[in-house]
Copies of this chain bind each other. A is one copy, B any other.
Amino acid sequence: MSVIILQNNYGKSNVRVMKVTKNSEVHEIKEMTVGIQLEGDFETVHTEGDNRKVLPTDTMKNTVYALAKENPVKSIEEFSIYLAKYFIENNKQVSSVTIENTETLWNRISLNGKPHNHSFVSGGNEKRFTKVITDGENISVTSGIKDLLVLKTTASGFENYIKDKFTTLKETSDRVFSTSIKAVWQYANQDVNYLKISNDIRKIILETFATHHSLSVQQTLYETGKNILEECKDVSEISITMPNKHYLLFNLGQFGMENNNEIFIPTDEPFGLIEAKLKREN
């Protein structure tokens, strides 16, 4: 018997870095959590413990900080592309580099309606992220938003579904709809404004969620994706995930009281999980 290595990769995860840019009194910050993964000619590392082709993950970490100094870090996408190119160009034993980069969001503190020069308040759990892959010739970039948590108190229903012997859910034309949206998209071309596209997509997601009368999570998800593909010409494909975070109607009837969609039990689990990938067809 012999054993074959079908696939292998290694790298450093959760390298946290913040770049502060002070070109004027108005400071800019970019806080990121970076992961690097390398694939390549690493057979003998596994089989013989021969480390001569191994770039230590500690060095990858150091490289992130050094390159964050060199690069302006305007967007996580541009910095991640810069990183990916560095690693592929400086390591001949490597056939593929993957950079994953998640941005921790900060908003300027607003004093009397004016954004402060150098003070920030957390942007919450919501995050922007990107994944860049290169083999030295081609480069692929995907971007995303995740943990965008929203809730609406009406204009959402769920009816006319299959009933079987295990059905207990009651049909409703008016329910609370809450979801923590994740969207991941690919670009139709490479010469794009990453920050603007991300902001545009976020705006369309919120707008669609607020204004679309939802007959199901699926329908709202599709409407969201369709609106993004129609309005953002630089986006070729988008995957959207919408967990259905259930707010259950509490049964006040057992106490002789009415519950006119007023009193709900927020729950974390179980949750519905709805996903789809949409593509523009020109």
Contact status A215-B37, CB under 8 Å? no
Chain A 86-121, CB within 8 Å of chain B: the 1/0 string? 000011000000000000101001010000101111
Contact status B59-A20, CB under 8 Å? no
Inside 8 A of A200's CB, which chain B residues have their CB?
none
**Given A209-B109, A263-B17, A270-B16, also A255-B166 (CB < 8 A):** yes
Contact status B3-A280, CB under 8 Å? yes
**Given A6-B279, A167-B56, A255-B166, also A216-B45 (CB < 8 A):** yes
Binds B, one of A132-140, A144-152, A190-198: A144-152
Minimal beta-carbon separation of A50 from chain B (angstroms): 7
**Given A150-B119, A153-B29, A273-B37, also A167-B5 (CB < 8 A):** no
Inside 8 A of A149's CB, which chain B residues have their CB?
121-122
Contact status A270-B15, CB under 8 Å? yes
Contact status A18-B247, CB under 8 Å? yes
Contact of A161 among B47, B54, B120 (CB under 8 A): B54
Chain A 9-34, CB within 8 Å of chain B: the 1/0 string? 11111111111111000010101000
Q: Which residues from 221 to 243 on chain A have a C-beta closer than 8 Å to any C-beta of chain B?
A: 221-222, 225-226, 229-230, 237, 243
Count chain A residues whose beta carbon lies closer than 8 angstroms to a beta carbon of B.
Answer: 136
A positions within 8 Å CB-CB of B: 1-22, 27, 29, 31, 35, 37, 42, 45-59, 61-63, 65-66, 68-69, 90-91, 104, 106, 109, 111, 116, 118-126, 148-155, 158-162, 164-169, 176, 206-207, 209-211, 214-219, 221-222, 225-226, 229-230, 237, 243-244, 247, 250, 252, 254-255, 257, 259-282
Contact status B1-A230, CB under 8 Å? yes
Most B CB within 10 A of own CB, among A152, A158, A237, A243: A152
List 26 A-B pairs, Cβ < 8 Å.
A1-B281, A4-B278, A5-B277, A6-B278, A7-B277, A8-B275, A10-B272, A11-B272, A12-B270, A13-B243, A13-B271, A16-B267, A18-B263, A20-B262, A35-B273, A52-B160, A56-B158, A57-B244, A59-B167, A90-B164, A91-B162, A120-B152, A121-B206, A123-B124, A124-B125, A165-B255
